[in-house]
Amino acid sequence: MAATMPVRVLLFARLREAAGRREIDLAMPPGATPRDVWAALVELHPAVGSAEPPPEVRVALDEAYCGWSVAVAAGSTVAFIPPVAGG
Protein backbone atom coordinates (compact mmCIF):
# COMPACT_ATOMS: atom_id res chain seq x y z
CA MET A 1 0.00 0.00 0.00
CA ALA A 2 1.45 3.36 -1.02
CA ALA A 3 2.29 5.79 1.75
CA THR A 4 0.10 8.85 2.01
CA MET A 5 0.92 12.31 3.25
CA PRO A 6 -1.25 14.54 5.43
CA VAL A 7 -2.62 17.70 3.82
CA ARG A 8 -4.81 20.24 5.61
CA VAL A 9 -7.52 21.88 3.52
CA LEU A 10 -9.00 25.24 4.49
CA LEU A 11 -12.30 26.50 3.12
CA PHE A 12 -13.87 29.95 3.33
CA ALA A 13 -17.09 31.78 2.56
CA ARG A 14 -19.38 29.88 0.20
CA LEU A 15 -17.06 26.89 -0.02
CA ARG A 16 -16.98 26.62 3.78
CA GLU A 17 -20.78 26.77 3.89
CA ALA A 18 -21.10 24.10 1.20
CA ALA A 19 -18.82 21.68 3.06
CA GLY A 20 -20.15 22.62 6.49
CA ARG A 21 -16.57 22.84 7.74
CA ARG A 22 -13.64 25.24 7.65
CA GLU A 23 -10.84 22.65 8.03
CA ILE A 24 -10.53 19.18 6.55
CA ASP A 25 -7.54 16.87 6.95
CA LEU A 26 -6.88 14.63 3.98
CA ALA A 27 -4.43 11.80 3.28
CA MET A 28 -3.05 12.42 -0.20
CA PRO A 29 -0.63 10.38 -2.33
CA PRO A 30 2.90 11.86 -2.50
CA GLY A 31 3.24 14.23 -5.45
CA ALA A 32 -0.38 15.35 -5.21
CA THR A 33 -1.20 18.75 -6.68
CA PRO A 34 -3.81 21.29 -5.54
CA ARG A 35 -5.99 20.04 -8.37
CA ASP A 36 -5.77 16.52 -6.88
CA VAL A 37 -6.58 17.90 -3.44
CA TRP A 38 -9.66 19.65 -4.84
CA ALA A 39 -10.82 16.40 -6.48
CA ALA A 40 -10.39 14.54 -3.19
CA LEU A 41 -12.26 17.28 -1.35
CA VAL A 42 -15.32 17.16 -3.63
CA GLU A 43 -15.42 13.38 -3.37
CA LEU A 44 -15.91 13.80 0.38
CA HIS A 45 -18.06 16.93 0.10
CA PRO A 46 -19.88 16.95 -3.27
CA ALA A 47 -21.79 20.12 -2.38
CA VAL A 48 -18.52 22.07 -2.70
CA GLY A 49 -18.43 21.61 -6.48
CA SER A 50 -17.48 19.34 -9.33
CA ALA A 51 -14.27 17.37 -9.85
CA GLU A 52 -12.67 20.20 -11.86
CA PRO A 53 -12.00 23.36 -9.83
CA PRO A 54 -14.13 26.27 -11.11
CA PRO A 55 -12.16 29.07 -12.84
CA GLU A 56 -13.10 31.71 -10.28
CA VAL A 57 -11.64 29.75 -7.34
CA ARG A 58 -7.96 30.33 -6.60
CA VAL A 59 -5.65 28.19 -4.49
CA ALA A 60 -3.06 29.01 -1.86
CA LEU A 61 -0.33 26.79 -0.47
CA ASP A 62 0.90 27.65 3.02
CA GLU A 63 -0.63 31.15 2.90
CA ALA A 64 0.55 32.21 -0.56
CA TYR A 65 -1.19 31.95 -3.91
CA CYS A 66 0.10 29.08 -6.03
CA GLY A 67 -0.67 27.26 -9.24
CA TRP A 68 -2.99 24.27 -9.50
CA SER A 69 -0.22 21.95 -10.70
CA VAL A 70 2.50 22.51 -8.09
CA ALA A 71 3.67 19.71 -5.84
CA VAL A 72 2.10 19.77 -2.38
CA ALA A 73 4.42 18.67 0.42
CA ALA A 74 3.43 16.58 3.42
CA GLY A 75 1.98 18.67 6.22
CA SER A 76 1.11 21.61 3.95
CA THR A 77 -2.03 23.68 4.13
CA VAL A 78 -4.01 24.10 0.92
CA ALA A 79 -6.66 26.82 0.98
CA PHE A 80 -9.31 27.22 -1.68
CA ILE A 81 -10.06 30.90 -2.22
CA PRO A 82 -13.44 31.84 -3.73
CA PRO A 83 -13.64 35.34 -5.28
CA VAL A 84 -12.35 37.76 -2.66
CA ALA A 85 -14.30 40.81 -1.55
CA GLY A 86 -12.19 42.76 0.89
CA GLY A 87 -12.43 46.51 1.33
Partner 1 sequence: MATPSARLLVSLTDGVIDARELEEFARGDGDGAVCTFTGVVRDHNEGRAVTRLEYEAYPAMAESEMRRIGTEVLAATGADGLAIAHRVGSLAVGEPSVVVTAAAAHRADAFAACRRAIDELKARVPIWKREHTADGAVWVADARGGHEAHPGQAGVTVPPSDPGGLS
Contacting positions for partner 1 (CB under 8 A): 10, 12-14, 55-58, 60, 63-65, 79, 81-87
Q: Which is nearer to partner 1, 29 or 83 (CB)?
A: 83
**23-28 and 5-11: which strand pairing?**
antiparallel
Q: Which is nearer to partner 1, 18 or 39 (CB)?
A: 18
* Cα–Cα dist 32/72, whole Å: 6
Least Cβ distance, residue 72 to partner 1 (angstroms): 16
- C-beta of 13 vs 47, nearer to partner 1: 13
Q: How would DSSP label each residue in 7-64?
A: EEEEE-HHHHHHHT-SEEEEEE-TT--HHHHHHHHHHH-GGG--SSPPTT-EEEETTE
